[in-house]
Amino acid sequence: MQLHWHRRDLRAADNTALSAAAGALDPDADDGVVPAFVFDPDVLAHAGPPRVRFMLDALDSLRAWYRDRGSDLVVARGDPREEIPALAEAHGADRVVWNGDYSGLARERDAAVRRALDGVGIERESYHDAILHESGSITTNQGEPYSVFSYFWKKWRDREKAESRDAPDADRLADVSGDALPTIDDLGFEEPETDVQSAGAAAARDRLERFCSDAVYRYDADRDYPARGATSRLSADLKWGTVGIREVYAATADAKADAAGDEYDSVEEFQSQLAWREFYAHVLFFNPGVVDENYKEYEHEIDWRAVDGGSDGAEELRAWKEGKTGYPIVDAGMRQLTREAYMHNRVRMIVASFLTKDLLVDWREGYAHFREYLADHDTANDNGGWQWAASTGTDAQPYFRIFNPMTQGERYDPDGEYVREYVPELAGVDADVIHSWHERSDEERAAAGPDYPAPIVDHGERRERALETFERARGGED
């Protein structure tokens, strides 16, 4: 028997470790692969209700797939270094396999599990699976990891990609039965109020097929416009592995083969976003401390504003979280987050810039909030995005380039469609009024949208304050 430990690979197809376990079985022996999942309290401690909801739904779909083939998903709760050896021994498995992960927490956990399995004489092996190119495989000519995406992308784009693998046949799966999945309440979480998208391999494949039949061909032109529906919505699927990255890339390669001109370039632009995902995974692998430390060092500490107690910073942070800043595109994004456990990528950049530059609030506050509310929260991607916005990360946005939230709204939501969708107080307001909200008098705002607030800060003034703050951090004069 072999035991496959599912983690963030909640699928059977295009699953490297699962395929390896099935392929290593003795054809003459009466054995199979035992699929397992452990609810790790250390992982759950960093999760929010939307992510847990998506995970449970994905696990339910995966369990149904196994049951349809005469097997089951065996589950346990507790420390994996205790639970995994116990599951292997209980099912007579002489080998345990899993797909590797890249965060410091995951690597420490995996090392502990390897030692525990060694202690009871059970073989173990981890496989490269979650990204196309293993960390350390794309480096500078001097063998160093890249800190600039454009150079990483050129090598990533030209590097050969592995092919997708089929799911194992039913006769390769062990005849086992598992306990019921815990409820979200059992795991210590409340049911999220957000409308979390459907989870599981079938739902992920549907999203992939729809995207590659239409939106991928206009992705380059439309992806920054949140009302145009040009994104794949695969981020949670890639986070939890309800679809394999090789399957996603193969689908885009097929779409690219059928395209020409602008459509060809558009598909390649989407592929570059897959490369961004891998770039940040590589950064995290080589710099695990970036989870709570700045990647880029300044001569002095950045003078982030205090957000404790009844400070002005705390009040402004609360308004940002609640989508009540008086900047329509910012508030629409924050309300989409609480409604759908998701936010459009362009808007993520806008709200992150607003928090870190207009409000001068430490990026770690925003990162923690996103971690709590996003179903697709991925340590590497979210950390990379937040540090980019805060001008503290790799390939960082220069500190002097600060998004103007009104200009961003006018450019990427020109008709106000996205704002009206998520800010009902402005549902009947003309786009030109929405985009000039900061310039309107109190009387004009009261007449147009009486229940929507005036801007909580003046962007021009806060921009100057941010520039001065970052100049001091760089070592400029006080």
| Residue 47 located in a structural domain | yes
List of residues 6+ apart from 360 with CB closer than 8 A: 303, 304, 305, 313, 462, 465, 466, 469
* 319 shares a domain with 461: yes
Q: CB–CB of 406/437 below 8 Å?
A: yes
Report how far Cα 470 is from the mean position of its chain's Cα atoms.
28
* 83 shares a domain with 31: yes
d(CA 430, CA 350): 21
Strand intervals (E) in 82-151: 95-99, 123-127
Q: Between 405-412 and 328-340, two packed helices, what is the crossing angle to 10 degrees?
A: 70
Q: Give the domain CATH number at 371.
A: 1.10.579.10
pLDDT tens digits, residue range 181-198? Answer: 999 999 999 999 999 999
pLDDT range class, residue 122, cuts 50, 70, 90: very high
**Burial, 471: exposed, middle or buried (Cβ in 10 Å; 0-12, 13-18, 19+)?**
middle
**Which pLDDT score, from 0 to 100, does residue 309 have?**
85
* 429 shares a domain with 354: yes
**Which pLDDT score, from 0 to 100, does residue 397 have?**
74
In this predicted structure, the answer to whether residue 329 has a pLDDT above a threshold of 80 is: yes
Return the SS3 of 96.
strand
Q: Which domain holds residue 89?
A: 2-130
| Residue 236 located in a structural domain | yes
In this predicted structure, the answer to whether residue 415 has a pLDDT above a threshold of 60 is: yes
* 40 shares a domain with 88: yes
* 373 shares a domain with 252: no
pTM of the model: 0.95
In this predicted structure, the answer to whether residue 131 has a pLDDT above a threshold of 70 is: yes
pLDDT tens digits, residue range 142-178? Answer: 999 999 999 999 999 999 999 999 999 999 999 999 9
Q: What is the strand order of the sheet 95-99 is part of?
A: 74-77, 33-39, 2-6, 95-99, 123-127
* 352 shares a domain with 273: no
* 462 shares a domain with 323: yes
In this predicted structure, the answer to whether residue 211 has a pLDDT above a threshold of 60 is: yes
pLDDT range class, residue 398, cuts 50, 70, 90: confident
Q: How many domains does the chain have?
A: 3
Return the SS3 of 161.
coil
Reduced 3-state DSSP string for 359-373 = CCCCHHHHHHHHHHH
* 329 shares a domain with 206: no
**Which pLDDT score, from 0 to 100, does residue 399 have?**
85
In this predicted structure, the answer to whether residue 478 has a pLDDT above a threshold of 70 is: no
pLDDT range class, residue 477, cuts 50, 70, 90: low
* 339 shares a domain with 254: no
